[in-house]
Amino acid sequence: MILTDTHTHLYVEQFEEDRVEVIQKAIEKGVQRFFIPAIDSTYYTAMYNLEKQFSKHVFLMAGLHPTHVKENYKEELFFLETQLKNRNFYAIGEIGIDLYWDKSFLKQQQDAFKYQIELAKKNNLPIVIHCREAFDEIFEVLEEVRDDKLFGIFHCFTGNKKQAKQAIDLNMKLGIGGLVTFKNGKIDQFLNEISLEHIVLETDAPYLAPTPYRGKRNESSYLVQIADKLSDIYQVNVEEIAKITTNNSKEVFGI
């Protein structure tokens, strides 16, 4: 059984003490593939080191996270472009709009989001979308840039059934993580009406740990709990969940 964690920040400070053990534990549990989203320019060295250490398992994205879009965002986008010219990445992500913490950079976030979507299209790459309290704003941008080159993953999908169908119509897979195991998570109420061909698995480690680890540091090995929950929702065995969602990840990332 091969599970794919399509979104995990294994390079961040929270794994400083036990990163190797955390990754080996995940691999032993069947999580063989780790797709690593970027945050901003300060993390690329750590990302490259992680890739070097686990080259058979770790696949990097490049991007500017919306909460890191500040006054210097154009410099950050220039840095991103230089990285894209220098080496291969598997997606542009995570990118999008986040209005939870701060609404004052909305215009810059929209600008950065559109710019990075164009970079993805130019490089024939998928996008990985971060959306927090910004569904309307995200969909407005996506509808504006919709074409056959637009595809990717709606990371940490928290929307309703209508929004799920809209995301799928825009050629996005839905990234399903720990939220699906929460009693108040809500997406479990309609997920079985969405075909498994539109679903990929993710942890978003170290954030959003699934039940029974909720509130603790999340790890990629906890993808097993998410796969188990989907097994219940879809009434198919975990091996089938692993196979279909891993195939879906290959369709998006090309590997």
What would the DSSP string read from start to end of 202-240? ---BTSSPPTTSTTS---GGGHHHHHHHHHHHHTS-HHH
pLDDT at 102 over 90: no
Q: Which amino acid is at 144?
A: E
Q: How confident is the model at residue 5 (pLDDT cuts 50, 70, 90)?
A: very high
- What's the pLDDT tens digit per position in 171-207? 999 999 999 999 888 899 999 999 999 999 999 999 9
Question: Residues 102-130: what's their mean pLDDT?
Answer: 97
Specify the 3-state DSSP secondary structure of 205. Answer: strand
Q: Check if the beta carbon of residue 76 is closer than 8 Å to that of residue 41.
A: yes
Q: CA 157 from chain center: how many Å?
A: 9
pLDDT at 128: 98
DSSP string for residues in 64-116: --GGG--TTHHHHHHHHHHHHHHS--S-EEEEEEE-SS-STTHHHHHHHHHHH
Q: What is the mean pLDDT of the chain?
A: 97
Which structure tokens are listed for 20? 């190797």
Q: How many domains does the chain have?
A: 1
pLDDT of residue 2: 98
What is the CATH classification number for the domain harbouring 84?
Answer: 3.20.20.140
Give the pLDDT of residue 149: 98
CA dist 96 and 152 (Å) reads 12
Tokens describing residue 60: 């990097």
Give the whole-number percent of the chain exceeding pLDDT 70: 100
**Does residue 144 contact residue 117 with C-beta atoms inside 8 Å?**
no
Mean pLDDT, residues 16-37: 98
Domain that includes residue 85, residue range: 3-226+235-253
How long is the chain? 255
Q: Taking the model in full, what pTM does it have? A: 0.97
